[in-house]
Amino acid sequence: MDLFNNIKEITNVEYTHGSKEMGADIILNRNDSVLGVEEYIAIVAKAVPIKQDFTDVQRQIEECYLFDITIESGKKKVQISEVWVVCSKNITSNAQEKIYAIFKDKKVKFIGVDILIKLIDEHFSDFWNSENIQMFQYFKKLKDKKDKTQEAFKFQLVLSTLLFKIDV
């Protein structure tokens, strides 16, 4: 939650996970500077890969839009304007396409590992110096794996280019 608290456009972060969450694990308040109104973003948080069987994610997104969400210790009910599916593992493109198709009239965004790492780098770089060593090690491995994959891809591209030039 510290990550979202450090994003200047987010004005409030509320943890709502539990038996009465109505699909949303976290609610973000964001000021719409153009219209001067507050928008409410529901976070559907997952720590497992989102693949072909995404029924739980679908149910949570449906609940976010179907029900008013109670925030501020039950003092306020709000309607969700956007849902972010945040996953610390992989979200397959097939699952994303299907979810987009199901919710084509709603605003749903996916925040997978790559975007999550970028957000941490930009808004919460102290996370990498965190005392929560297990979480740090997990994200460091993800970041290192991403970096290695990018380097391998660049190497393959250079090698392919060289081999093409040799063949010509």
For residues 26 and 15, what is the distance between their CA atoms, to the nearest angstrom? Answer: 5
pLDDT classification of 161: cutoffs 50, 70, 90 = low
Higher pLDDT, 97 or 20: 97
Whether 157 shows a pLDDT value over 90: the answer reads no
What percent of the chain clears pLDDT 90, i.e. is strictly above it?
41
CA distance 76 to 61: 20
The predicted model gives 20-31 an average pLDDT of 84
pLDDT tens digits, 101-137: 999 999 999 999 889 989 989 998 887 776 665 666 6
Residues 1 and 25: beta-carbon distance below 8 Å:
no
Residue 155, pLDDT above cutoff 80:
no
Instruction: Report CA-CA distances (Å) from 93 to 42, 88, 97, 153.
Output: 21, 15, 6, 19
Structural contact between residues 40 and 33, judged by C-beta atoms closer than 8 angstroms: no
Distance between CA 76 and CA 72 in Å, rounded?
Answer: 6
Six-digit token string for 86: 């945040």
Average pLDDT of 57-64? 94
Q: Which helix (H) or strand (E) holds 167?
A: helix 133-167
pLDDT digits (tens, 9 = 90+) for 72-89: 888 899 999 999 999 988
Overall residue count recorded for the chain in this entry: 168
* Distance between CA atoms of residues 112 and 116, nearest Å: 6
pLDDT score of 69 more than 80: yes
pLDDT given at position 82: 96
pLDDT at 30 over 70: yes
pLDDT score for 23: 81
Amino acid at 94: N
DSSP annotation of 11 reads E
How does the average pLDDT of the chain come out, rounded?
83
